[in-house]
Amino acid sequence: MSALAIDNIGLLVTNDPAVGEGLLGEVRDASVVFEDGRVVAVGRAGVEVDGRVDAGGRCVMPGFVDSHTHLVFAGDRAEEFAARMAGKPYEAGGIRVTSEATRAAGAIELERLTWCRRSEGLRAGITHVEIKSGYGLEVESEAKCCQVAAGVTDDVTFLGAHVVPAEFESDPDAYIALVCGAMLDVCAPSCRWIDAFCEVGAFTAEQCRAVLEAGRAAGLGLRLHGNQLGPGEGVRLAVELGAASVDHCTYLTDADVEALAGSHTVATFLPATDFSTRQPYPDARRLIDAGGEVALATNTNPGSSNTTSMAFCIALAVRDMGMTVAEAIRAATLGGARALAKDDIGRLVPGCRADAIVLDATSPTDFAYRPGVPLVRETFVAGRTVWSDLDEAR
C-alpha cells in the first residue's frame, strides 16, 4: 500500500454536487485519501495510511486542467506585443515568426523549453495539460513538435493547419493536402487530437472541414479554433462535426449559442488571449444560461497569450465574462476535463486520479479576489507532490 491522507482541510472542492454542497460539491472540515495514484476516500479522517499532510484549515481542490496550450515553441514575440499595445492589431500571420524559430530549434532544446513552461504551470496548479503542435508547419518540424509534446502529456493535438507557411502562400490548398496527407501520417501516432484554425488570415471552414475529416479517418478526436477575431463559421462547423471542443468563442452569434447549447461540444474560453490581443471578452453568461458546457484554458503561446496562469484566466472570467466564481473554478477544472473527454480528472472523488492542489487560502474565491497573488502551496499529480512551497521543504 502507498496511501497518503490530506487532513484538516477547511474546504474541500470535489466538483461533485452529489458528494458535497453546491456546484463545486464543497465539503467542510474534510480529509481526502490517495492510494496508488487515485482518490480512494473523501471526507473521512482517521483512515490507515503511510503518510499524512496537514492542510491547516486551507482549501484543497482538483488541479487545473488546461485543455488548450501551445507549449512547444522557440523564440518570443515581445516586440509584437509591445507594438500591439501601441495600437497595431493582432493578426494570425505572426505565427510564421514563431514557426521560423521553432523550425530552427533542435528537439532537445524544444524539450527543455517545453518542460520549463510545464514546470511553471505545475507551480501554478495545472495538473493536466493539452499541448498542440502548429509552429513547425512542415512535415519534419511538425513531427518533432508532436513528439516533444508526447513526452509531456497524453493529450497531444496535431495542428498542422495553424496558418499557411510562407512557402505555400500562393497555394494554400496544396498546403492543406500536405496536412491531410504526409504530415498527418507522421504526426498521428503521437497524437490524440486534430485541430485547425478557422479564421480570416488562417483557414476557411471548408479547409478546416477537410483537415478534421482526415484526422477523424486517422483515428484522432476533433477540436477547432473558432470565432476568435470575428464572427465566423467555426463554432457551427465544430458542432456539426461533433468536435469535443471549440476554442476561443470570443464572437458568438445567437445561432452559435443555440448550436452549442444543443450539442456535446464544449466552448473553451481563452480570456488571457482576449486580454493580450485587446479583443472584447466573450459573454460566457449567455452561453451558460442557454445550457452550454464551458471550459477555461490558458492558451499559452508566444503570440496571443504568453501566460501559464489559470488563476489569471479565472480572475478575467469572473470580472469580465459574467461567470460566478464557482462557475469559473469548475470551468478551469472539470470543464477542461470535459473538453478533453476525460472523466477521471477534474474531480476529487473516489476512482479519480489524485490530481489536487492545496491553496494558501481558505476558499477558491481568492483566485478572483486576490488577482496576481500566487495561491498554490502544493501540487499533487497522481497522488505525488510535484511542486511545493512548504516551509519544511526549505
Question: Binding residues for ligand NIG, how many (CB under 6 A)?
Answer: 13
Q: How far is CA 22 from CA 15, 230, 309, 332, 345, in A?
A: 9, 35, 25, 17, 19
121 binds ligand NIG (CB under 6 A): no
141 binds ligand NIG (CB under 6 A): no
- Minimum Å gap between C-beta 327 and ligand NIG is 22
- Minimum Å gap between C-beta 307 and ligand NIG is 12
- Cell numbers given for 232: 465566423
The closest residue (CB) to ligand NIG is: 303
CB atoms under 10 Å from CB of 302, counted, come to: 22
Helix (H) or strand (E) holding 327: helix 325-330
* Order of all β-strands in the sheet with 64-66: 64-66, 126-132, 155-161, 193-198, 221-226, 245-248, 266-269, 294-296
- Return the number of the residue (251 or 387) whose C-beta is nearest ligand NIG: 251
Per CB under 6 A, contacts with ligand NIG among 253-282 are 273
**Residue 376 has what DSSP assignment?**
E
Part in contact with ligand NIG (CB under 6 A); list of ranges 93-101, 172-180, 345-353, 385-393:
93-101
94 binds ligand NIG (CB under 6 A): yes
306 binds ligand NIG (CB under 6 A): no
Residues ≥6 apart with Cβ < 8 Å to 343: 337
Outline where DSSP puts E strands in 215-347: 221-226, 245-248, 266-269, 294-296
95 binds ligand NIG (CB under 6 A): yes
299 binds ligand NIG (CB under 6 A): yes
364 binds ligand NIG (CB under 6 A): no
- Return the number of the residue (250 or 365) whose C-beta is nearest ligand NIG: 250
- Minimum Å gap between C-beta 225 and ligand NIG is 5
Per CB under 6 A, contacts with ligand NIG among 221-260 are 225, 228
For residue 9, what are the β-bridge partners?
30
- Return the number of the residue (14 or 273) whose C-beta is nearest ligand NIG: 273
Cβ contact 187:133 at 8 Å: yes
Q: How far is CA 74 from CA 1, 66, 77, 267, in A?
A: 43, 20, 10, 28
Q: Which residues bind ligand NIG (CB under 6 A)?
A: 94-95, 98, 197, 225, 228, 273, 299, 301-305
